[in-house]
Amino acid sequence: MQLGYIGFEVGDVDAWRRLFTEVIGLMPAGENADGSVGFRMDERTQRLFLREGQAEDVCAIGLCADGTEEYAATLARLTTNNVEFEIMDATAANARGVERLVQLSGPYGVPIELATPLQAAKTPFTPRYPGEEWLIGDLGIGHILLLVPDKAVMSRFLVDCFGFRYSNTGKGPWNGVEDAEVDFLNCNARHHSLAPATVGQRLPQLVGHFMLERKTVDGVGLTYDRVREDGLHVTNELGRHTDGALSFYAQTPSGFDFEIGTEGFQVDDDWEVVELKSYSNWGHAFHPAPSPTWP
């Protein structure tokens, strides 16, 4: 399985479009039948989309099964766990750039979609900034950190219903929070695709941040330069996470952050799950945003 796509419901689509294309360097994919606008990172039709609305939050976490067998097996797991889901029609699936699609609401209303397979685009992929490639393949596009009242509830749901596994747990200081607790969950070799987190305070959004992974350090650095030139708020300067990733964080127009990184660890069957006591080896200097969000 992989985190195949992410959707956000946002108020200022134009500001987001500028962030996605000019700063992050995604390729516009045009408007979908449901009015959402898509963006490409590779040869697939769509990897991120924006929907206009008031939520200022993630509206679709696209978990893509690796084939129809895994898709059917996951539907069976949902049924076994008494999770209700809605089977979407071909038009809705097409708007996501997939063949088959179901939608469901996880704990705390986390909007999850199960899909397979991702459609191949009819036109070639032409990156906005050639040479700055994304690390995707079978790993998915990156990860989402979800801010929830009880991370254990969210993690159990993902383990039971979607077969996620623990890579690490974490309990330590982050961005002014003394004991930020995070479960780093994998659904393939990527160290984490979803990370339920509990930070001991009431938060306005489900998404803390989303991360997209570059193939190279230069890809991260060149994006960092554009973020600074564009005057975006840098929430965390460049740093090295304890999961190996070299990354920085900056604020989206919706208040939460995006993270651009590279060199994150990959896990295998011999991986040992330990509790991390800190989240960074160096760097990631924190600058609170004018309108605070975490992390």
Tell me the three state secondary structure of residue 70: helix
Q: Which stretch binds Fe ion (CB under 5 A): 22-30, 162-170, 207-215, 270-278?
A: 207-215
Q: Which of residues 45-64 bind Fe ion (CB under 5 A)?
A: none
Q: Which stretch binds Fe ion (CB under 5 A): 101-109, 151-159, 180-188, 211-219?
A: 211-219
Q: Which residue is nearest to Fe ion (CB)?
A: 211
Three-state SS letters, 155-213:
HHHHHHHHCCEEEEEEEEEECCEEEEEEEEEECCCECCCEEEEECCCCCCCCEEEEEEE
- Residue (of 104, 103, 4, 115) closest to 68 by Cα position: 115
Q: Which stretch binds Fe ion (CB under 5 A): 11-19, 94-102, 206-214, 277-285?
A: 206-214
Amino acid at 258: F
Q: Closer CB to Fe ion, residue 183 or residue 259?
A: 259
Q: Closer CB to Fe ion, residue 181 or residue 259?
A: 259
Q: Is 183 in the site for Fe ion (CB under 5 A)?
A: no
- How many Å apart are CA 167 and CA 185, to the nearest integer? 6
Local structure of residue 243 (DSSP, 8 states):
T
Question: Could you say which of 60, 98, 197, 211 contacts Fe ion (CB under 5 A)?
Answer: 211
Q: Closer CB to Fe ion, residue 146 or residue 211?
A: 211
Q: Closer CB to Fe ion, residue 64 or residue 211?
A: 211
Q: Is 259 in the site for Fe ion (CB under 5 A)?
A: yes
Amino acid at 110: V
Q: Which stretch binds Fe ion (CB under 5 A): 111-119, 151-159, 169-177, 254-262?
A: 254-262
Q: Which stretch binds Fe ion (CB under 5 A): 3-11, 133-141, 150-158, 253-261?
A: 253-261
Q: Closer CB to Fe ion, residue 56 or residue 259?
A: 259
Q: Is 136 in the site for Fe ion (CB under 5 A)?
A: no
Q: How far is CA 211 from the centre of its chain?
A: 5
* Contacts with 283 (C-beta within 8 Å, 6 or more apart), sequence order: 236, 237, 238, 239, 240
Q: Closer CB to Fe ion, residue 100 or residue 192?
A: 192
- How many Å apart are CA 150 and CA 147, to the nearest integer? 9
**Which spans of this chain sit near Fe ion (rule: CB under 5 A)?**
211, 259
